[in-house]
Amino acid sequence: MNLPIVIIGSGFASYQLIKTIRRTNSDCPIHVFTNDSGDDYNKPDLSHVFSKQQSPEEVVTLSGGDFAEQYNVILHRHTLVESINPEQQTITANGEQYTYDKLVLATGSHTFVPPFHGDGCEDILTLNSLKEFSAIQQKILDAKNILVIGGGLIGTELAMDLANAGKMVTLVEPNSHLLANMMPDFISLPLENACKEKGVTVNLSDCVQAVNKQEQGYRVTTSNCHSYYVDCVISAAGLKPNTQLATEANLMVNRGIVVDSNLQTSANNIYALGDCAEIEGKVMAYLQPILLSANALAKTLLGTDTALALPNMMVKVKTPNYPVQLAGNTSTDIERWSVDIDTQGVCAKAYDVNNQLTGFVVTNERVKNAFTLFRELNTTN
């Protein structure tokens, strides 16, 4: 009997890999180990569940059981993988040992919750999975005032969604502008204004210091001496790859699980992809690099070593009141910007020292120009 491909994790990366494998091979044995129900869903949809008044069941596109049947996999649901033995090519899960031919770590990431003072810290909510959505949904529905920690991509999307759902929202961000790791301040300012127009209180250059329980709700205090009385607090302060299994198996781990161009880790026959993988020094928690990684890794697992090639990629900020799209390099080593701002939005182009287009950002109605600029970017790079 052929040994199986074993995949740890049942998120987007894992299931995209399985779907890709099954397009060309319907028979190779695949085992999936997951500590949840293994339901298939589109994780970016979590950014809009409150304004759309969706339940966890409505987010699911295919139940775990139906997915396993449709894609001919053995799904080990609610199963905790305790350890990996790279030398013996085994994993231990719920006390039982399983042997693999190839092992794929698709363990994902978890939301970083900074260390705060106060007795309310243990009640800080996170929203990074269907399981977490199920756990916090009723608390969010019952809340009137919500504080979101972090004005990056996830925090900004979530704050606007909660505001569109009728909540009073406060967004606290330590940087001087929203999406600081993605774009300069002059581009994010209109997005900040759009958030404020929806009623979001945007508090920049400030950090949460303490979360303390009150008779009703919580008191949140910041480094700039602001105090907010809210019904719940959500952390969107960034994602940290889940690397514990890899670390304990003595795999090379840096920011994420370090992989080579074939997505192989430092151990033979063990691979990683998705939010947990570090590729060329970067952890890329976006859909397009995960899709490309799944396509390349599927070929490698089926016998054709395939290196991952990452082109310029488009990122969409899902803020319906002020849509933003960007691609290429828009945050570091920019020699100059060419910026056109009018009532339709912003079109900003980034150039390097050789006067080559290296990235762009378009907003609001100007997003219709995104694909033209994207073609230009790919032509010049």
pLDDT bin (cut points 50, 70, 90) of residue 285 is confident
Whether pTM exceeds 0.85: yes
In this predicted model, what pLDDT tens digit does every residue of 74-105 receive, in sequence order? 999 999 999 999 999 999 999 999 999 999 99
pLDDT of residue 1: 56
**Using alpha carbons only, what angle is made at residue 40 by residues 35 and 46, rounded to the nearest 5 degrees?**
95
In this predicted model, what pLDDT tens digit does every residue of 309-349 receive, in sequence order? 988 889 999 898 899 999 999 987 789 999 999 999 999 99
Q: Is the pLDDT of residue 207 over 60?
A: yes
Lowest-confidence region among 65-74, 276-285, 297-306:
276-285
281, with CB counted inside 10 A (0-12, 13-18, 19+), is exposed
- Block residue for tokens 């059981």: 65
Per CATH, 5-110+240-302 and 113-235 having the same topology is answered yes
Three-class HEC string of the chain: CCCCEEEECCCHHHHHHHHHHHHHCCCCCEEEECCCCCCEECHHHHHHCCCCCCCHHHHEEECHHHHHHHCCCEEECCCCEEEEECCCCEEEECCEEEECCEEEECCCEEECCCCCECCCHHHCECCCCHHHHHHHHHHHHHCCEEEEECCCHHHHHHHHHHHHCCCEEEEEECCCCCCCCCCCHHHHHHHHHHHHHCCCEEEECCCEEEEEECCCCEEEEECCCCEEEECEEEECCCEEECCHHHHHCCCCECCCEEECCCCECCCCCEEECHHHEEECCECCCCHHHHHHHHHHHHHHHCCCCCCCCCCCCEEEECCCCCCEEEEECCCCCCCEEEEEEECCEEEEEEECCCCCEEEEEEEHHHHHHHHHHHHHHHHHC
Mean pLDDT of 239-253: 98
pLDDT bin (cut points 50, 70, 90) of residue 381 is low
pLDDT of residue 89: 98
pLDDT of residue 73: 98
72, with CB counted inside 10 A (0-12, 13-18, 19+), is middle
Q: What CATH number belongs to 113-235?
A: 3.50.50.60
User: What's domain 323-380's architecture?
Assistant: 2-Layer Sandwich (3.30)
**Domain ranges within the chain, ordered by starting residue:** 5-110+240-302, 113-235, 323-380
Mean pLDDT of 228-242: 97
pLDDT of residue 373: 94
Q: For the chain, how big is the Rg over CA atoms in Å? A: 22
Q: What CATH number belongs to 5-110+240-302?
A: 3.50.50.60
In this predicted model, what pLDDT tens digit does every residue of 125-173 receive, in sequence order? 999 999 999 999 999 999 999 999 999 999 999 999 999 999 999 999 9
Q: Is the pLDDT of residue 219 over 90?
A: yes
